[in-house]
């Protein structure tokens, strides 16, 4: 090689190394993203404009249009389990939070030996805030948000609050950093107000995690008159109020997006939106027996709703949006709410080695590069009386209470779960049933069922026992 060619080759190599180093330096110096995580409460899959609803959701629709629609995104079947799964990155059956929600009369909460997402993000240098509903423990301060990694909390500890009185069972459930807050206003609007104020306080030099958990459109069906007037054409009173509540929430989401833009934060903020479970269709199953008339949610093509392990209870409306980082379109691959924990922590530059083993998977390559989802299994839930699991396109729902039932569906062919093909596929049933049994062996006892048992036993103390008499019938013996 001539001296000139050697010099040219060395120059090209040096230039390539310089470009590579510059790119690496840019990647390393890029600030971690702000995270705005928006959760709706009991929103039906179809009850947004981008799924064909007549309910007006222009701000949610814009996020969907300019971001990724997650069309196989799963939450848990009810509020508390979903919130626990998001906070821990672990399925709720692993720590006793798998059954129903935490009632106002109970004193348990999300176990304190679980390392929560805000704790991991704080360690990575984030400011953290929960604005809205918690529902992961209220009776003891050790369970409260500001004891679990949040720097700031504004909103309710329980669920199903009165939207104007901010009460549950006649007691105020509206807090600001562990102090009861007495203020007037419509809860959805107040949460939007506070989210805007919070964003306005943030610095561009320090990333933040804002968990904005609306109580809408959960019952009671309450909404300002101006929103009701938008839906005069809807005859059913429940559906009219529900639609108005969804639009009221959408307006507040629009205000949050506008504030991010105003502060110059939008381009480095990842925004996630989804519902905590499917829309509620059965007041008996979910404890909302005070609702009169038909429940108004619409879960589209999916069977069942809130409380069910069918798709309508667990496959929820969802999207993710980050300008320039996530391409607009549809991600039609399996993802579960537990996946946000490792995805966010890795984006934040944090560490995952200090908590318990996660069920969540890092979905960032799938969301940002279109790579295949690493998730091939979804565990819908594991309880002592039922369980459901999906592996690829096959889903088994096992109702273990007598008379027990086994339902097998191929979701690729039958997303509405109309055709039980268990009889035709005994090997697949056997394999998935074994998987559910294995998971059952890893299950912790339900904290709710344990609390109910203790409550029953406590109430029975002092009562005369029932013992069998000589005829075999039970009678009270003093």
Q: Which residues, in sequence order, are bridge partners of residue 128?
A: 209
To the query of whether residue 79 is one of the catalytic residues in this protein, the response is yes
Task: Tell me phi and psi for residue 272, to 5 degrees.
Answer: -120, 140
Rounded to an integer, what is the distance from CA 151 to the centroid of its chain?
20
Q: Please name which of 163, 166, 313, 169 lies closest in space to residue 242, comparing C-alpha atoms.
A: 163
166 and 123 both lie in a single domain: yes
Rounded to an integer, what is the distance from CA 269 to the centroid of its chain?
19
CA distance 80 to 95: 12
- Kindly report, residue by residue over 327-348, the tens digit of the pLDDT: 999 999 999 999 999 999 999 9
392 and 414 both lie in a single domain: yes
Residue carrying the six token digits 């919130």: 83
- Kindly report, residue by residue over 241-291, the tens digit of the pLDDT: 999 999 999 999 999 999 999 999 999 999 999 999 999 998 775 556 567
To the query of whether residue 376 is one of the catalytic residues in this protein, the response is no
36 and 117 both lie in a single domain: yes
Question: 376, 407, 423 — which closes off a domain?
Answer: 376
Q: What is the mean pLDDT of residues 224-238?
A: 97
477 within a domain of the structure (yes/no): no
253 and 319 both lie in a single domain: yes
- Kindly report, residue by residue over 303-315, the tens digit of the pLDDT: 999 999 999 999 9
Q: What is the mean pLDDT of the chain?
A: 92
281 and 369 both lie in a single domain: yes
Residue 462: predicted pLDDT: 61
Neighbours of 398 (CB within 10 A): 23
369 and 304 both lie in a single domain: yes
284 within a domain of the structure (yes/no): yes
Q: 84: phi > 0 → left, psi -120 to 50 → alpha, else beta; which?
A: alpha
Q: What is the mean pLDDT of residues 422-434?
A: 98
Q: pLDDT band for position 18 (50/70/90)?
A: very low
Any idea which of 14-18, 53-57, 137-141, 155-159 has the lowest mean pLDDT? 14-18
311 and 410 both lie in a single domain: no
Residue carrying the six token digits 């909404």: 223
398 and 323 both lie in a single domain: no
Catalytic annotation, pick one of 51, 79, 138, 218: 79
Using the predicted structure, report yes or no on whether residue 353 has a pLDDT greater than 80: yes
- Kindly report, residue by residue over 101-144, the tens digit of the pLDDT: 999 999 999 999 999 999 999 999 999 999 999 999 999 999 99
The boundaries of the domain holding residue 240 are: 31-376
85 within a domain of the structure (yes/no): yes
Using the predicted structure, report yes or no on whether residue 194 has a pLDDT greater than 80: yes
Cis peptide before 96 (omega within 30 of 0): no
pTM to 2 decimal places? 0.91
Catalytic annotation, pick one of 20, 51, 135, 376: 135
């Amino acid at each position: 090689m001539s001296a000139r060619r050697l010099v040219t080759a060395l120059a090209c190599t040096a230039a390539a190394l310089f470009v590579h180093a510059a790119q690496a330096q840019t990647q390393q110096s890029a600030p971690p993203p702000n995270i705005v995580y928006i959760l709706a409460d009991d929103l039906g899959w179809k009850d947004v404009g981008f799924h064909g609803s007549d309910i007006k959701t222009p701000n949610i629709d814009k996020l969907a249009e300019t971001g990724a629609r997650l069309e196989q995104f799963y939450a848990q079947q009810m509020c508390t389990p979903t919130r626990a799964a998001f906070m821990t990155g672990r399925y709720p059956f692993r720590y006793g939070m798998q059954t129903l929600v935490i009632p106002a009369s109970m004193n348990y909460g999300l176990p304190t030996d679980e390392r929560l997402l805000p704790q991991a993000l704080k360690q990575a240098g984030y400011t953290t805030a929960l604005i809205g509903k918690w529902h992961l423990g209220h009776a003891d301060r050790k369970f409260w948000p500001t004891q679990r990694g949040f720097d700031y909390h504004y909103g309710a500890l329980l669920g199903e609050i009165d939207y104007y009185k901010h009460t549950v069972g006649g007691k105020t459930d509206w807090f600001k950093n562990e102090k009861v807050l007495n203020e007037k206003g419509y809860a959805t609007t107040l949460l939007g107000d506070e989210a805007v104020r919070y964003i306005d306080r943030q610095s561009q030099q320090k990333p933040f995690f804002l968990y904005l958990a609306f109580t809408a459109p959960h019952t009671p069906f309450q909404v300002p008159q101006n929103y009701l007037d938008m839906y005069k054409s809807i005859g059913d009173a429940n559906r009219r109020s529900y639609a108005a509540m969804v639009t009221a929430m959408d307006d507040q989401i629009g205000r949050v997006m506008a504030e991010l833009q105003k502060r110059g934060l939008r381009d480095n903020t990842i925004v996630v939106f989804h519902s905590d479970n499917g829309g509620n269709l059965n007041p008996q199953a979910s404890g909302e027996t005070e609702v009169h008339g038909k429940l108004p949610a619409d879960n589209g093509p999916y069977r069942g709703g809130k409380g069910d392990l069918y798709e309508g209870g667990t496959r929820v409306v969802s999207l993710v949006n980050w300008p320039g980082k996530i391409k607009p379109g549809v991600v039609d691959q399996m993802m579960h709410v537990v996946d946000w924990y490792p995805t966010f922590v890795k984006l934040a530059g944090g560490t995952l080695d200090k908590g318990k083993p996660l069920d969540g998977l890092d979905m960032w390559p799938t969301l940002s590069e279109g790579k295949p989802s690493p998730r091939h299994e979804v565990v819908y839930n594991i309880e002592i009386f039922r369980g459901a699991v999906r592996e690829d396109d096959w889903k088994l729902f096992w109702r273990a209470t007598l008379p027990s039932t086994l339902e097998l569906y191929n979701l690729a062919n039958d997303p509405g779960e109309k055709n039980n093909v268990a009889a035709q596929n005994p090997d697949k049933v056997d394999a998935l049933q074994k998987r559910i049994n294995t998971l059952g062996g890893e299950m912790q006892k339900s904290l709710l069922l344990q609390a109910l048992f203790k409550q029953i036993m406590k109430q029975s103390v002092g009562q005369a026992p029932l013992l069998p008499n000589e005829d075999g019938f039970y009678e009270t013996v003093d």
